[in-house]
Chains A and B, each alone.
Chain A
Amino acid sequence: MSSKSRSKRKPDQFDFVDKGANDSDSSESEESVYSGLEEEPDTSEEDQEQSSNQSDNDSSDNDDDEDITLDDKSGLELSTEQRKELSTASDDELNEINDQRYTGNVKSQNRKQRKQITVKTADRPDEYDYDSSDEEDIRNTVGNIPLEWYREYPHIGYDIEGNRLLKPEKGDQLDEFLSKMDNPNYWRTVTNKMTGQNVVLSKEDLGLIQNLQSSKHPDSMAENYQPWIDFFTHEKMIHPVTNHPQHKRSFIPSKWEKLKVGQMVHALKMGWMKPTKAKTEEEEEENFYMLWKEDEESEITRRYRAHLPAPKMPLPSHAESYNPPPEYLLTKEEEEKWQNMEPEERRMNFLPQKYSSLRLVPAYKRFINEHFERCLDLYLCPRKPKIRMNINPEDLIPKLPKPRDLQPFPTAQAIVYRGHSDIVRTISVDPTGQWLVSGSDDGSVRFWEVSTGRCMKSITMETGSLGNMCIRSVAWNPHPDVSLVAIAMGQTVILVNPGLGDKMVTNNTDNVLHSFSPTEEESTGKKVYADWSSIDTSDKRFENGFRLLLQHPKEVSQVTWHGRGDYFASVMPKGDSMSVLIHQLSRRRSQNPFNKSKGMVQCVLFHPVRPFLFVATQRYVRVYNLLKQELSKKLMTNCKWVSSMAVHSGGDNIIIGSYDCRLSWFDLDVSTKPYQTLRHHKRAVRAVNYHKKYPLFASASDDGTVIVCHGMVYNDLLKNPLIVPVKILKGHAISHDLGVLDCVFHPSQPWCSKAQCERRAVCCLLQNKNGFAQQLTDDRPTKLETLVSVGKTIYKCMSSRLSKAAHTLQANDTPASSVNNCWYRQEYGTCLSDNLGSVSHVTAVNNDVYPKNCLIQQATSTKCISDALSEVDKYGCEAKVVDAMKKLGDSPSSADDLKEAYCRASVTAYECVLSVVKYCGVTEGPRTIEGLTQFSVVRTACGAFLPVTTTASPVNIGPIGDLFPKSFFSSSTNNSQVTNVNAALNSGSCQPPRGAVVCVAGSVVLLCVLLL
């Protein structure tokens, strides 16, 4: 009850309230406790507060020290009052203790007061008076021990004097509860463990705790955000920060430096020191360094990084089991077979064996071996990653427009022009596009109405007067005001007025031709190349339309008109220097533009605009400027044999068809090489042609097809022509290996007249298939050539009759060249061997050189050659064959093939070595040495061989001289070559043996026969 009253009495005055004291103890005990604990800090505050407390006792800021001050001032009254209460409340024992304590307190109080005096005397407060950090709490002297140890005792420790500090009396739960209810400071009352007393926390303490909890500065008065004073500012001040005067060093030059500079200047003067050069840009650039270390890694380290794991060993199979299934066990035969095999050839390197249990399996003997081998494998065979290129093959194909977008072009056969009874060799369309003219081997020229397929006119040539019936070429005059068709037949060129189309034009043409009167100077002109003769109106042939005849010295294979229609050219392939003639219609004059033959002329064409003439020989196309009379260009066709040629209407592009199945497009502005080569045909290309208006061209071939291509030529010079094959025209059966022989475009419509024409050609061929053999036996060799050209089938039927033909040839004393030409046309090797018996017979009879040429033609098929050679051998024309072989060796298609061919024909053993050495370096020879001894043909070849050997350096020489008869060596008389060889031999470390030597050059075995 007393505690209650007391708490009521001074709730504000005391922050620290000793609960126990309030309850039971006297005020003395309370004082004593505090005097001991807070002796020192009290001193400063006391003197401050002493004055304030005197005026304001109730201020709540006061510490527990207030008690003391209170005690000092009004302590008497209080203490007496307390004492009354205490005496009444407490029992005797307690009183005793209190007394003792009280006395203690008094003493301490005295000491305090002494200190206070000293503090007051000093004018500056000693800061250490405040600091109690190094002082331990001395109210309880037990030290830092667990206070549980005093749980059993009534006291809690000892004070500095050794007296017991009694535990303050604790109330029971009820008291606790009551105090919780009644005491407003209960929430801030804590127990001091050392003294066991309750302490009420002051407002500052609470603030301090709160600051600590919220991580603030513990001192609530401390300012967290003080204003920033920029003492050493970054700004440049005009005044020095300090007022120190500058040091002398700062304005007096350094004596030491002066000395040093003097030394360096002296060194420079004396040349001991050289000034450093200014850095050039290059040096600066060299400053670059590798950013990534790996780049300059050595190969070895890189290999470490790009490690490839070793290939895994295959897992053991059933056969390797200790108890394999019975089907894996080998039978006795198999086992024997296994034993007999080479270890490398064995399919498995062990014998499957069966054991009844795993215990019985013996140690594997080959364990070390196999592991060693595997290690060797891994070590000796370095693994390397293989980079595979992932290229989509479709990406490599150039993007071409679809044929559908390139219409129009011919697509289907529309009309067949029927009427000819033999192959149709040539066609031509009139400039208006209404008529078509065709020339056939049946000796007739027919004129057709294009739109209906109607034959309007047919002119049959009279064989008696003109010799040969075959129409080789027809050409319609391109000028619309002239109605003339040039027809080449045999040695004649006939100009025919067909009488079709506009009557005015035909009449005018006739009138102009009729009114011609030769001037004198021309009639007395120089050399006459072609004989002009006009057909008289009374002549029967005039009715047929014949107007002019031009008799040529040789057979004419082609006629072509100039675009203006006044000039036309004729080609005589066998005319040598006169192979091309240019005729002028208006003056009836012929010229020979070329003095010298440049090869066999295949065809000629006039440039559509400019005065150029294109002349195609077997391998080249030459462009001549007719005005300047000079060669302006030479085109390399890259093909073996040109068959036909066509000029684009612009004149800057030409196409060339060849017998080796190619079609080459030349852009004359760009290059003399083909701009593009098309190999779509499977057989020889017979004819090519451009369309005059549409961007189309077509090629006709012996494979029975006509391929129509879109060939757009752009005006833009930078743009290459666009070539797209758009259509293959089929429907033409091949007969006698002849397919489509000619093709012509309609001048204004996208129609290709060749398809029609060829169909007709087929019909004719089929009709006359049987006729050929009969005609073969005819006595006209010139006819034979034409017939032979028909192809393989003809050959077959010919072979039986060729001997007869050969006799005929001999009897007629025909020039061999005409028969040679027969062979040129032959393009299929296989039949040659069938026929060669006959051929060699021919050779034997005629003692001429046919096989040479025919063999050259056959160079693509070596099997055939070898067969042929062995066949030829029987007939004793070896020398000629050797000649052929030499030429063949100039273009071997495959070294092995060549060798094979030579070796099979033992007669040419020596040549074999020679050619093989020359061109390939094939290392075979033993058979040929034997061959050498047997055939005298060596002799002829020796001369050719010597220069070859001199170029190789002889390495090793062995004697084979005995193989050769002395007489042989004496036949080799070329001394200069021999000396060359000798020099070569001397330079090498070789010793010439007696008789003859064999030179071995490198890995190539050379056989060399020398006269020493």
Chain B
Amino acid sequence: MADENTPHVQAKFFTKQSQYSIPDTPYSVPAAVGTSELSSLINQILKGSDDSVDAGIEFDFLLDGEFLRVPLDKHLENRGVSSEDIVEIEFVERQPAPKPEDSLLHDDWVSCLQGCKECILSGSYDNTVRIWTTTGAPLLTIPGHSAPVKCVKWLSGDGGPTCRFISGSHDQTILIWEWHREENSVECVHACRGHAGSVDCIAINEERDKFVSGSWDKMLKLWSAAAVAEGDQEEQLEAPTKKQKISKKVQTRVPVLTLSGHTEGISAAEWLSRSEVCTASWDHTLRLWDMEKATQTSQMQGTKVFLDMSYSLLNRQIVTASADRHLRLWDPRTTDGAIVKCTYTSHNGWVSSVSWSPVNQYLFISGSYDTVMKLWDTRSPKAPLYNMSGHEEKILAVDWSIPSLLLSGAADNHLKVFQYNDEKHGT
């Protein structure tokens, strides 16, 4: 295969994907080999063992849980691993490249978005919330807020005839909406009032009966998401535009709980478990709150302003986006907190938003003010898997709620949809 003189490395390949399993024998590969050569090698081995396997599969290779991105010998040299021993290399099928699918044009900057099954919800700086189908057809434009919408979340989006969603805005209110799919009409059922600043984030718990909201007024508030809750008051909501009269009767909802502790505005919140909420703030801290005891349980100190945060139920880790170029991986289970497990650096501007994959515990996406969305694997801290460009202005929000779609909203009024096929990866 190569010259006799070139240095070789003994490598043993294994995989966790059973369909690609190969015999456990060491192979001697040239030290300067790259991923493409290794990939073809694996393909040859697979072909030899089983003819049914398609030959053209691209693989990625992991050494000690880190992706091979440079030639093998350099990788070993950088990690200080001896090339004399047998190197154990895990191979996984390469993540397929996301394909740009659609671009949904808004009237103004897209500040927030969330997908759910076949619908996409987006909030914009023109004070409206919009509902789109995943194929890009606009379903509804909902005026309701009197100021730019900062956050939207599906409360219940599964195929029923009525879906509910929540939106928070600069006008300091959170509105709970009901969308009748078949009639394609929307109705504001609750107006949650209590914040004294723009509502920047909303997080709904797993049971979907409660949600928390974080605001620029430094408060974290817990609300009931139930259809009927105690303390609801009827209220006449003024329709800001006369064209579209929405529901006449809107119930005002007050917070169940208000937690203070942050010294600056709260930029992101996530439920970690039934009772635990994590918040990220401009005061450089991540705080964990116990919602049942209504106390703050612990605190993780960062060095920069947190702009966004995402929590993965699959690997129980938090990834944060800061007002610098880095993404940071945290583990909330460690007690002493302030340990950043990993830093992902590739962006050139502030990272405005981040979102974990709902199905793959290693993958997450991030959007930055440098107009690029990046797909990351936690095992590859130096380089992202894919860069997704297309926006002309800073990205304000990204979302990966639908496993096959990567969504990004930016200040160029566009919401970009990227198709991502992860079917081969067994869920």
Contact = CB atoms under 8 A, between A and B. Distances in A.
Interface of B: prevailing SS: loop
A748 B282 contact: yes
A80 interface: no
Given A434-B216, A502-B172, A452 B197 contact: no
Contact of A504 (B196, B264, B369): B196
B266 to A, nearest CB: 13
A478 B349 CA distance: 30
A749 interface: yes
Given A434-B216, A452-B396, A503-B172, A414 B411 contact: no
B144 interface: no
A405 to B, nearest CB: 14
B415 to A, nearest CB: 16
Given A452-B411, A502-B217, A503-B172, A414 B197 contact: no
A749 B217 contact: no
Nearest to B265: A434
A448 to B, nearest CB: 12
A453 interface: yes
A408 B284 CA distance: 12
A312 B344 CA distance: 72
B307 interface: yes
A502 to B, nearest CB: 5
A503 B197 CA distance: 8
A451 B196 contact: no
Contact of A501 (B197, B264, B283, B411): B197
Contacts of B87: none
B307 A451 contact: yes
A877 interface: no
A454 B197 CA distance: 17
Contacts of A451: 307
Contacts of B196: 502, 504
A894 interface: no
Given A414-B323, A454-B125, A748-B282, A432 B216 contact: yes
A23 B196 CA distance: 154
B171 A503 contact: yes
Interface of A: prevailing SS: loop
A350 B287 CA distance: 95
Interface string A474-512: 000000000000000000000000000111100000000
Contacts, number: 45
A415 interface: yes
A751 B264 CA distance: 15
Interface string A428-451: 000011100000000000000001
Contacts of B217: 502
B305 A453 contact: no
A748 B303 CA distance: 13
Contact of B282 (A415, A453, A503, A749): A749
A749 B305 contact: yes
A501 to B, nearest CB: 7
Given A451-B307, A452-B396, A748 B264 contact: yes
Interface string A448-464: 00011110100000000
Contact of A415 (B148, B198, B350): B350
B109 interface: yes
A454 B282 CA distance: 18
A752 to B, nearest CB: 13
B109 A454 contact: yes
Interface in B304-339: 305, 307, 323
A454 B410 CA distance: 12
Nearest to A505: B196
B374 interface: no
Interface in B115-154: 125, 148
B303 A408 contact: yes
Nearest to B196: A502
Nearest to A434: B216
A432 B197 CA distance: 10
Given A501-B197, A503-B171, A454 B411 contact: yes
A670 to B, nearest CB: 34
A414 B282 CA distance: 16
B394 interface: yes
A454 B341 CA distance: 33
Interface string A389-407: 0000000000000000000
Contacts of B394: 415, 452-453
A504 to B, nearest CB: 6
Nearest to A748: B264
Interface in B384-417: 394, 396, 411
B197 A502 contact: yes
Contacts of B111: 452
B148 to A, nearest CB: 8
Interface string A175-203: 00000000000000000000000000000
Interface of B: 109, 111, 125, 148, 171-172, 196-198, 216-217, 264-265, 282-283, 303, 305, 307, 323, 349-350, 352, 369, 394, 396, 411
Interface of A: 408, 414-415, 432-434, 451-454, 456, 501-504, 748-749, 751
27 contacts: A414-B323, A414-B349, A414-B350, A414-B369, A415-B350, A415-B369, A415-B394, A432-B216, A433-B264, A434-B197, A434-B216, A452-B109, A452-B394, A452-B396, A452-B411, A453-B411, A454-B125, A501-B197, A502-B196, A502-B197, A502-B217, A503-B171, A504-B196, A748-B264, A748-B282, A749-B305, A749-B323
Closest 7 pairs (CB-CB, A-B): A502-B196, A414-B350, A434-B216, A749-B305, A502-B197, A503-B172, A748-B264
Given A433-B264, A434-B216, A434-B265, 9 more contacts: A414-B323, A415-B350, A434-B197, A452-B352, A454-B125, A454-B148, A502-B196, A504-B196, A751-B323
